[in-house]
Amino acid sequence: MAAITLTDIQKRYPDGFHAVKGVSLDIADGEFVILVGPSGCGKSTLLRMIVGLEDISEGELTIGGERVNERAPRDRHLAMVFQNYALYPHLTVFENIAFPLRLTKGQFTEEQIREKVSFAAKTLELQDHLDRKPANLSGGQRQRVAMGRAIVREAQAFLFDEPLSNLDAKLRGQMRTEIARMQRRLGTTTVYVTHDQTEAMTLGDRVAVLRKGELQQVASPRALYEHPVNLFVAGFIGSPPMNFLPGEVSGDVLRLPIADVPISAALRQRLGDRRLVIVGIRPEHFEDGAVASRQNREGGVTFHADVDVTEWLGSDLFAYIPFETNPQVAGKLEELDRDLDGEGLRTQLVVALASDSRVRDGDDAELWFDAGKILVFDPETGDNLTFDADQARTLDEQNEQDRKASLERAHAREQKQQARTA
C-alpha cells in the first residue's frame, strides 16, 4: 500500500492531441479517490498513465515515494479492474485469480497460492465458483473475479476503470457497496474512474473532477456539492443538475427571469461592479409555496410560474418551468451544456418539490426558493463568486476524520472477527 503523487502530468499523443494538461494530485495511503468527468475529459488516460499502459509525456508520477514514470506496468505493483473485467477465458476462476501469483515463478508455493486465492474467494463470496470458466459467470460474478485478481496481488494500489458500466442498475448498486466494503476492509489506496456521478459521490473519499484534460476541483463529495469552484463542477455534480439562470444586478436586487432576489451585504461585496451574473440554484432548494409557508421556512423568495410538465417519483415531485434566458449568458450556458455531454435542449428550470405537493402540469404555481443557498458565478470565467474556501476546507477535514474513523472501525471489526474464529 502506498501513496500516489501526480505532479503536473501531461499527455500528448503523436497526432498532437493534448489529452491531459498538467494534472497534479496527491493521493494519500489508503485513500479512495475518484476521477470523474464527462467522456473525453482524460480520466481514463490518466488512469492508464498511472498503471503504465500509456507513457507519461511530461510530469512526474511517484508511487510510495518512488518515481515510476519509466517503469513497466509489472514493476509498479498495481492491480487494475478493467471495464470488461479482462478475465482470461481459457482459465478457471481459481486460475484467473491465481494468475498474477503464477507469473512470479516459484515465489509462491502451491500451498500459498491456494491460501491466497481462497482468502480472496471468501472475501468476495466466490468459493462455489472456483472451478468454473468466466463464460459461465454472471456479470456480477465476473466483476468479483476481477477484483479477486486485484486482491491476491497485494498491490500497492487498486485501479478501477469504469468497472460497473456494463452492469444493470440494480447490480450496479450492489457492486458499488461491495467495492466500498472491500476497500474499507483492505484499506488499499484506490483510484476509480467513472463518468457516473452517483458512483463518484457515494464511493470516494475525495473526488477529482476533470474537464478537457484539466483538473477542476478535488474535494470531498460534500464540499464538491455545496462549494463547487466553478460553473462546470456545479453543473456536473448533482442530479437533476443545478439550474442556471441569468441574473441582472438592479439596485438592491438581483433580477432573475423568475423573481427578484435581494442582495445581501456579503453578496454585494462579491459581486463587485458586475452587472450580469449567472445564478445557480439546486432543484431541491425550491419548494411548493404552500408547503414552504406551512413549514414556516424563512429567508426565501416566493414567486409564480407556469409549470410545463411534472414528474411524480414517489420521494419527490419534479416540475419543469421554461424561462427566457438572457442572450448575453446564453453562449456561456450552451458551452457548459456541451462540456457536460448535454443535448442543448430548451432552457428550463427543474424544481424538486415535496411529493405531497399538488402542483400539476399547466398550473400557475406559487413556488418558493431558499435565497441563502444560491450560488453566483462570473459569466465570463465561470468562477464561483460565492465560493467559501474555509467552509470547503472544514468539510474536507471532517470528511477525512470520518474516513479515518471508519477505517479504524473496519480494522477493529476485522480483528474481533479473527479473534472469534481463532
Partner 1 sequence: MTTQAAPPATPEARDVKARRIKALQSDRARAENRLGWYLAGPAFVVMLAVTLYPILQATYDSLFRYRLTAPDDKAFIGLANYGVVLTDAVWWQAFGVTVLITVITVAVELVLGFALALVMHRAIKSLRGLLRTAILVPYGIITVVSAFAWFYAFDINSGYVNTWFDWVPGISEDLNWFAQFGTAIFVIIASEIWKTTPFISLLLLAGLAQVPSELDEAAEVDGATWAQRLKRVTLPNMKAAIMVAVLFRALDAFRIFDNVFIMTNGSAGTTVLSLLAYRTSIGRLEIGLGSAISVLLFLAVIGICIGAIKLFKVDLAGARGES
Q: What does the binding site for partner 1 look like in residue numbers (CB under 8 A)?
A: 51-53, 72-74, 77-80, 82-84, 86, 88-91, 99-100, 102-104, 133-135, 149, 153, 159
- If the CB atoms of residues 89 and 344 are measured against partner 1, the closer one turns out to be 89
Nearest approach in angstroms of CB 204 to partner 1 is 22
Nearest approach in angstroms of CB 104 to partner 1 is 7
- If the CB atoms of residues 159 and 167 are measured against partner 1, the closer one turns out to be 159
- If the CB atoms of residues 52 and 289 are measured against partner 1, the closer one turns out to be 52
Q: How far is the C-alpha of 422 from the C-alpha of 416, rounded, in Å?
A: 10
In the block, cell 418558493 appears at 368
- If the CB atoms of residues 33 and 159 are measured against partner 1, the closer one turns out to be 159
- If the CB atoms of residues 95 and 316 are measured against partner 1, the closer one turns out to be 95
- If the CB atoms of residues 74 and 268 are measured against partner 1, the closer one turns out to be 74
C-alpha torsion sign, points 230, 233, 234, 235: positive
Contact 259, 321 (CB under 8 A): no
Nearest approach in angstroms of CB 94 to partner 1 is 15
Residue 254: name the closest of 267, 266, 244, 269 by CA. 267
Nearest approach in angstroms of CB 72 to partner 1 is 8
- If the CB atoms of residues 133 and 185 are measured against partner 1, the closer one turns out to be 133
- If the CB atoms of residues 135 and 419 are measured against partner 1, the closer one turns out to be 135
Nearest approach in angstroms of CB 12 to partner 1 is 17
Nearest approach in angstroms of CB 98 to partner 1 is 11
Q: How far is the C-alpha of 197 from the C-alpha of 240, rounded, in Å?
A: 11
Residue 258: all three cell numbers together? 423568475
- If the CB atoms of residues 77 and 274 are measured against partner 1, the closer one turns out to be 77
Nearest approach in angstroms of CB 85 to partner 1 is 8
Nearest approach in angstroms of CB 54 to partner 1 is 10
In the block, cell 457536460 appears at 340
Q: Tell me the residue type at 180.
A: A
Nearest approach in angstroms of CB 66 to partner 1 is 17
